[in-house]
Structure 1
Amino acid sequence: MTLLSVDDLAMQYGSSQALFGVSFDVAPGEVVALMGRNGMGKTTTIHAICRMVPAMSGAITFDGQDLLRLPSFRAARLGLGLVPEGRRCFAPLTVEENLIASARPGHWDLARIARLFPRLEERRDQKAASLSGGEQQMLAIARALMTNPRLLLLDEATEGLAPVVRQEIWAAIATLKRDSGLAIVVVDKALKELNKIADRAVIIARGQSVWTGRPADLTADLADRYLGV
């Protein structure tokens, strides 16, 4: 069974084409990593799935429904939970207010968020602007979970964070994989960590999907060709 299907997706910003043919799928409960160098189209692909940018051609379906026919808010209501690059928490609101603002009925509530991220429970009355970068990233993930999605999209969830905080984030993602049954798409470059949690990886280069397989099967030559600096 396929939950999300992206088929030969192409899109452009103005006169500049950004995607030339991205294809992959995600099954329920599966973790799929989108990998590649900076500027290759990973974030653009996430934005297209969430209907934040229009597609030129191709297809995106979620649970059999054509996402390209929907505005972004209706796509989100189908069960897409986005953790955007740069976090984008509501700075003037407290941690609890950020979570309540996005809440929809379902499995995830304040109590479950507190168990996943105890640090947020400790800071529930603090404004988001006063949190560290790592705490803001935890809040961004928690806020997406409070929408009770069926597919969680994590765009560079560990970028720019201290090593100890990155490990906390990876541990939380591993817990979600093990206990929640969520399908997850994660954009990241950390091959060591992705090897532990991702069922499959898709490499995007110059706006095209060029390799799909298990992270453990990614050879050194391929990693150097598509992921190296």
Structure 2
Amino acid sequence: MSLLTVRGLEASYGASKALFGVDLSLAEGEVLALMGRNGMGKSTTIKVICGMLAASDGELEFAGADLRRLKSHQIARLGIGLVPEGRRCFAPLTVEENLIAAARPGDWDFARVAELFPRLDERRDQLAASLSGGEQQMLAIGRALMTNPRLLVLDEATEGLAPVVRQEIWGAIGRLKAQTGMAILVVDKTLKELRQVADQAVILNKGATVWSGPIRTLTPDLTNRFLGV
């Protein structure tokens, strides 16, 4: 049974239409890779799912609820945890304060986040503004986990990070998949790493879904056509 269902999703920024028909489906415990070149609608789709941009048409359901009727804070309370592009940590707060600010009842607490990212425990009293980019990304992921989501949404979680940190983030995503059964929606461009963690993939082109299926069936022809430079 699908946890998240998106059908025929359309959305605009004012008079400029950005989504022309996005379709995707994500089951409980599944990892879905949302792929496409820059500017093809990936982040816009995430914004609509999370209630930060209104849909102009289409269906959008999560755990049986119509997300089009809800505001972003209500969607978060339903169980969608967002790791936004650009991290957006609370710079004046410490690591621990950032995590506590997002906490909701459930299995994920500071100790469990620190087990996933030991570096956050080491820097628990540091201001978020003083962290490296990779540490801020770990904090952003930890903050989303502290909401105890049913669906974790990662929007470009490894972009711009050093290779060693990227591998640490991918390792954490792999552990989340293996150990929690949490549904995960990942927006990223690195096909090699995505193949290691994702079950399904959806490719967007010019604001619409042009391919979907098991990521293992994604062929070189498709990747060159829709993901190549």
Q: With structure 1 as the length reference, what TM-score do the two structures score?
A: 0.99
1:150-195 CA distances to partner (integer Å, 9 max, x unpaired)? 0000000000000000000000000000001110000001111111
1:191–1:215 Cα contact (<8 Å) kept: no
Tell me the alpha carbon deviations over residues 109-162 of structure 1, each in whole angstroms, 9 at most, x when there is no partner: 011011000000000000000000000000000000000000000000000000
Q: Which amino acid aligns with 1:19?
A: L
The 1-side partners of 2:138 and 2:34 are apart by: 20
In the other structure, the counterpart of 1:195 is 195
| Paired position in structure 1 for 2:144 | 144
User: What is residue 5 of structure 1 aligned with on the other side?
Assistant: 5
Q: What secondary structure, in the 3-state scheme, does the structure 2 residue paired with 1:18 have?
A: strand
Do structure 1's residue 133 and structure 2's residue 116 form an aligned pair? no
Give unpaired runs (5+ residues) of structure 1: none
Residue identity over aligned pairs, in percent, reads 69
Structure 2, unaligned runs of 5 or more: none
Which residue of structure 2 aligns with residue 119 of structure 1? 119
**What CA distance in whole angstroms lies between the structure 1 residues aligned with 2:15 and 2:7?**
22
Aligned length: 229
Task: Kindly report structure 1 stretches of 4+ aligned residues shifted beyond 3 Å.
Answer: none
Q: Partners of 1:216 and 1:78 in 2: how far apart?
A: 31
Q: Which residue of 2 aligns with 1:48?
A: 48
What's the counterpart of residue 38 of structure 1? 38
Task: Give SS of 1:157's match.
Answer: coil
2:69 pairs with 1:85? no
Superposed displacement of residue 81, structure 1: 0.1
CA offsets, 1:45-82, max 9 Å, x none? 00000010000000100011100001111111000100
Give the drift of 1:34: 0.1
1:215: how far off? 1.9
Determine if the alignment matches structure 1 residue 223 to structure 2 residue 223. yes
CA shift, 1:216, in A, is 2.0
